[in-house]
Structure 1
Amino acid sequence: MKLARLAGPTPVRDKILAIFPGALGDFICFLPTLDKLTRDGEIDLFTRTEYGDLLPASVKMRSLECYEISRLFVSGVEEEEKLKRFFAPYSRVYSWMGSGQPDFVRNLTLLSNGKLKVFPFRPSVSRIHITDYFLSCLGAGSSDEITPRIPIRADALAWSGRLWRQSDLERKSVLVFSPGSGAREKNWPPDFYATVAEWWEKKSAGKSLAVLGPVEEERDKVGGRGDRVLALRGLELGRVAAVISRCDLYLGNDSGVTHLAAAVGAKTIALFGPTDPVQWAPRGKRVTVITRNVECSPCLSPVMKSCLHHKCLTALSPDYVIGRLEELLG
């Protein structure tokens, strides 16, 4: 007679805290590292709240702008009962914030009972891809095949479907571009994007959508030319991801939105001027980087901000970029 095998107790998973302060592009490059952490335990992630749209359901997000994090920068708070209770449940803590702040490191080390690893936010080796750097913090190997992936939320996809119907886009070829970034010095001129939008309309009788940030100049120069460009402003990231996932082609600067386009699987063209694509290019099988490789590029941020000619971007003329697009699109 066979005896029934009794199920053993469900293994208790580690409770892990991760602290990540980066901008959107940094955050998307961090996603493979976050994925690796989720395989090891239950994750609470302190980061910017707007990234919640892009996180898997298995990750619990908390805002960086909270009492528990801000107090870590204050000397001598390791005995606060509120902080002790908060950090006590975590078996491991990983932080990409505060590596150069002695009070932060000391407080978090004591509150986590020494189960803490704090990493510099940027690598000491300049030409390592940022995705590989974040993975290396966990001792993981690097590979161009390791790419961020972002699923589209069902409600955001439904919203974008309504936008397509209301804007008569369902039977048109759609170009989405994002003319902004975290630094104006990285931006291709808005008039150049407008020229590409004109070409797109003539080439395919298509429509261009511009995902715009808060800069009024972008709206006036790119989104203000009649009805050629449909300007989308102030969208939450989940909706931005859904819009880009529906397009035929995405064009953008070295920016967080360009990394987002690659992560949702869109055909992505990334324009690089002063920054280094070896370190910052979005990863994905459908990503193409266009750059002119001028002699002074890439350059350091102080040089970038004081540059008088920006020829790394102006040499990327609309005619040159359109020529490359025609080659890529066949």
Structure 2
Amino acid sequence: MIVDSILFIRGGALGDFIVTLPALRLVREKWPQAHIELLGYPRHAALGVDRYYLNAVRSVDTGPLAGFFIPNAVLDPDLVDYFGDFDLVVSYFYDPDQIFYQNLKRCNMPNLITFSPVAGLAPAAKHFCAPLSELGLGTDDYSSRLHLTAEDKAWAVEFLKELDPSRPTVAIHPGSGSEKKNWPIDRWVELCQRRVLAGKENFVVISGEADDERTQYLLARWPGKTPLVARHLPLPHLAAVLAECGLFIGHDSGVTHLAAATGCPSIALFGPTDPAMWAPVGSHVCVLERHGDMAAISVDEVCAAMDQTLGAAPPHPRQRE
């Protein structure tokens, strides 16, 4: 089977893209010289374009694509040519009636695999690797790993340069895409006040567009000097910042998957969602879970996990400078 060009079709949120990286890795390892492109969201794909996994991205937010979800539609000729130019297309679009699949077949690409984006195997990355068994590809390693550039890493070092290099740096993300997945904000306040007053760590607060209200609440109650805030950063820059940190703490969110994919030791707080399915994979990830009740996770528990993780981790290079 000769494969020179491959298209992955993947929508969803940041975490959905990151748990698909093991599947992308399988294909990249099998065809290292192939052109691999993503039809998806450019903001997410930036983590993979020219960073091992992807050669290019095309935005999924293109009007003519809507015709592919209409039975027997007149398809956009440019998209027909676009899809037909690939030797292999792997689609994770939600397509319960297989309308998208039937229309893709009309584009006459040699090899087409479609699979549900609704994870049915745990961990989720295993689900997204499963359809690649048709190509003879498989793995037992479902961890996601990023390949950052030297420029990404240099940007992060410059961003963090004012922090005390003798202390470990802890990144926290007090938000997520769903309020029910969030640890109560007053617990975050108590945690940060306790740790900041102890004076043993630097802190970086991660804030995305959906997190501004919670972030402002936390910062208004921060003891002493306002911490460094990584607000709305491009994802490769945010990933590089997280890679420089000694610890990350967050919820079931895309940023938690991002932190773990950099190799940063991570504490993931889970309540209503299943960590067996959705927690990042890896021995460097500690999950604190309370089966639906995030408020049942105590500040003492998180502090203990921080002490254990920071004590077990080797000193970060920034601490040895």
Query: Do both share a fold (TM > 0.5)?
Result: yes
Out of 316, 321, 324, the position equivalent to 2:305 is: 324
Partner of 1:170: 165
In 1, the alpha carbon distance for the partners of 2:94 and 2:264 equals 35
My pick for the range that moved more, 150-159 or 43-52, is 150-159
Partner of 2:318: none
Q: In the aligned structure 2, how far is the partner of 1:161 from the partner of 1:153?
A: 13
C-alpha distance in 2, partners of 1:170/1:154? 20
Letter in 1 for 2:61: E
Q: Are 2:22 and 2:142, in contact at CA under 8 Å, matched by a contact in 1?
A: yes
Task: Classify 1:74/1:327 alpha carbon distance in 2 versus 1 (closer, same or farther; 3 Å).
Answer: same
Percentage of pairs with the same residue: 30
C-alpha deviations, 1:216-260, integer Å up to 9, x for none?
A: 321222222252432221111111111111111111101111111
Residue 97 of structure 1, CA deviation: 0.3
Aligned-pair CA distance for 1:114: 6.9
Deviation at 1:67, TM superposition (A): 4.1
Residue 160 in structure 1 maps to residue 156 in structure 2? yes
Query: Is contact 1:273–1:291 with CA below 8 Å preserved after alignment?
Result: yes
Question: d(CA) in 1 for partners of 2:75 and 2:279?
Answer: 44
**Structure 1 unaligned regions, length at least 5:** 1-10, 299-311
**Aligned residue for 2:287?**
289
| Whole-angstrom CA distance in 2 between matches of 1:327 and 1:83 | 53
Residue in structure 1 matched with residue 271 of structure 2 by the alignment: 273
CA contact (8 A) 2:3 2:87 kept: no
Which residue is 1:200 aligned to?
195
Equivalent position to 2:69, from 67, 70, 73: 73
After superposition, the Cα gap between the structure-2 partners of 1:265 and 1:80, relative to the gap in structure 1 and judged at 3 Å, is closer
CA RMSD of aligned residues (A): 2.3
Q: Tell me by how many angstroms 1:49 deviates.
A: 0.8
Correspondences of 1:114-263 after superposition (within 5 Å): 115-124=111-120, 128-139=122-133, 140-143=137-140, 145-165=141-161, 167-214=162-209, 215-224=211-220, 225=222, 226-263=224-261
Contact 2:81–2:107 at 8 Å: present in 1 too? Answer: no
Contact 1:175 1:200 in 2 (8 A): no
Aligned partners of 1:98 and 1:105 also within 8 Å? no
Listed as ranges, the matches of 1:10-21 within 5 Å are 13-21=3-11
Question: Looking at CA atoms only, which structure, 1 or 2, has the larger radius of gyration?
Answer: 1
Q: Does 1:90 align with 2:71?
A: no
Which runs of 5 or more residues in structure 2 are unaligned?
Answer: 312-321
Q: What TM-score comes out, normalization by structure 2 length?
A: 0.85
Kept after mapping to 2: 8 A contact 1:160/1:239: yes
Correspondence list, 1:308-319, <5 A:
312-319=293-300
Alpha-carbon distance change, 64 to 320 in structure 1, aligned in 2, over 3 angstroms: same
> How far apart, CA to CA, are the structure 1 residues paired with 2:155 and 2:281?
27
Q: Distance in 1 between matches of 2:83 and 2:45?
A: 22
Q: Distance in 2 between matches of 1:209 and 1:320?
A: 21
Distance in 2, matches of 1:104 and 1:12, equals 25
Describe the shift of the 1:271–1:110 C-alpha distance in structure 2 as closer, same or farther (beyond 3 A). same
- C-alpha separation between the residues in 1 aligned to 2:152 and 2:83? 34
Which residues of 2 match residues 100-119 of structure 1 at below 5 A?
A: 100-113=96-109, 115-119=111-115
Distance change >3 Å, CA 163–CA 184, structure 1 → 2 = same
Q: Hey, what's the Cα distance between the residues in 1 that align with 2:100 and 2:166?
A: 55
Match of 1:43 in 2: 36
Asked whether the equivalents of residues 170 and 246 of structure 2 are also in contact (C-alpha less than 8 Å), the reply is: yes
Q: Aligned pair count?
A: 299
Q: 1:122 to 1:189 in 2, by over 3 A?
A: same
Moved over 6 A (4+): none
Q: What residue identity is the alignment partner of 1:187?
A: N
Classify 1:194/1:321 alpha carbon distance in 2 versus 1 (closer, same or farther; 3 Å). Answer: same
- The CA deviation string for residues 263-296 of structure 1, in whole angstroms up to 9 with x for no partner, is 101011111111111101101231111123xxxx
Deviation sequence 1:176-206 (CA, Å, 0-9, x none): 0011112111011222222222233244432
Post-superposition shift, 1:73? 1.8
Q: 1:285 to 1:318 in 2, by over 3 A?
A: same
Displacement of 1:69 in angstroms is 2.8
Report the AA paired with residue 206 of structure 1. E
